[in-house]
């Protein structure tokens, strides 16, 4: 096994550790690790990412359900439009993207480059969400849950589409929506978002099963290492304040997003 492959599987561990420590964000590293360290093409990497993110989120969701933190009704209302959108995106939209998108001067923007640049944009938005100090994150008050159904459907479709294209969980979009649209307290919003991410990611992955050749042994090993990382991160949470790490990780995601833009244009 080459050093770069070892780094790739170590990256799988780090993805899990970050998820265990700060409750999200780690999934945004999955596609870069798969593409730049383990040399998977972007379409396959985003499909694998859905499985890894879905499985890892499911582990976290089960733990939160045991603690009574998951609002199942809210999760259902949000998840239905999201998983329909992500499944349709993976099953029909992604395969329909042409191999060559457009050409600027002598630079051809291919399907793979387009996906990675779009992914970089999502990373930049996620980094902003993590870096910015949000006053609403301090609020954790129980109020009556009220559903704004039209906005929930629109938000679910948008998040599902984005998840389908880039293979990331979209927690940085789901959590504010749960707080603002369903009036959930912050702890319940974070816990409930994991269940939504798990359901829509795993159902989205089903849309890929017939479209790409899946290396199940590789995917199983990579996912298993990430899950081990989650439990390691949960254990480290006893000694490290995940909230303090979140801003630092946000800056790291920002640099990664800039690196991806540079890498794709320089290639």
Residue 8 · residue 37 · CB < 8 Å: yes
Residues forming a β-bridge with 102: 109
Q: Cα–Cα distance between 60 and 226 in angstroms, integer?
A: 12
Higher pLDDT residue, 240 or 73? 73
pLDDT above 90 covers what percent of the chain?
A: 21
What pTM was estimated for this model as a whole?
0.81
State the pLDDT at residue 138.
42
In percent, the amount of the chain with pLDDT more than 70 equals 91
CA of 174: how far to CAs of 105, 116, 191, in Å?
A: 39, 22, 11
In this structure, what are the phi and psi dihedrals at residue 126, rounded to the nearest 5 degrees?
Answer: -65, -40
- DSSP strand E in the chain: where? 100-104, 107-110
pLDDT of residue 140: 52
Query: Does residue 208 surpass a pLDDT of 90?
Result: no
Q: Tell me: the pLDDT tens digits for 64-99?
A: 888 888 889 888 888 899 889 988 998 898 889 999
Give the chain's domain count.
1
Q: Rounded mean pLDDT of the chain?
A: 84
Query: What's phi and psi for 82, nearest 5 deg?
Result: -70, -45
Q: What is the mean pLDDT of residues 244-257?
A: 83
Domain that holds residue 150: 3-266
Which string of b and e fits 182-200 if b means at least 16 CB within 10 Å? Answer: bbbbbebbbbbbbbbbbbb
- Cα–Cα distance, 172 to 167 (Å, whole number): 14
The pLDDT of residue 1: 65
User: What is the per-residue pLDDT across 3-26, written as a single tens digit (0 to 9) for each?
Assistant: 888 999 999 998 888 877 776 666
Q: What is the pLDDT averaged over residues 36-57? A: 90
Using pLDDT thresholds of 50, 70 and 90, give the confidence band for residue 243: low
Instruction: List pLDDT tens digits, range 150-198.
Output: 888 888 888 889 888 887 767 777 877 888 777 788 778 878 888 888 8
């Amino acid at each position: 096994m080459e050093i770069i492959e070892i780094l790739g599987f170590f990256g799988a561990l780090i993805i899990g550790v970050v998820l265990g420590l700060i409750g999200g964000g780690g999934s945004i590293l999955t596609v870069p690790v798969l593409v730049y360290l383990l040399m998977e093409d972007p379409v396959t990497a985003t499909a694998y990412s859905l499985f890894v993110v879905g499985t890892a989120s499911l582990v976290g969701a089960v733990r939160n359900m045991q603690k009574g933190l998951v609002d199942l009704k809210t999760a259902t209302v949000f998840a239905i439009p999201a998983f329909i959108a992500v499944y349709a995106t993976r099953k029909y939209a992604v395969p329909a993207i042409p191999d060559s998108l457009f050409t600027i001067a002598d630079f051809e923007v291919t399907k793979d480059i387009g996906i990675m640049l779009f992914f970089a944009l999502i990373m930049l938005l996620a980094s902003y969400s993590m870096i910015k100090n949000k006053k609403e994150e301090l609020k954790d008050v129980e109020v009556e849950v009220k559903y704004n159904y039209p906005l929930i459907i629109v938000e679910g479709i948008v998040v599902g589409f984005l998840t389908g294209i880039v293979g990331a969980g979209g927690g940085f979009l789901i959590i504010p929506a749960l707080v603002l649209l369903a009036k959930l307290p912050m702890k319940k919003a974070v816990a409930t978002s994991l269940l939504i991410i798990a359901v829509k990611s795993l159902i989205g992955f089903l849309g890929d099963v017939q479209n790409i050749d899946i290396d199940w042994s590789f995917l199983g090993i990579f996912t298993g290492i990430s899950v081990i990382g989650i439990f390691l991160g949960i254990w480290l949470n006893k000694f490290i304040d995940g909230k303090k790490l979140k801003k630092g990780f946000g800056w790291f995601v920002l640099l990664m997003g800039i690196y991806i833009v540079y890498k794709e244009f320089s290639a």
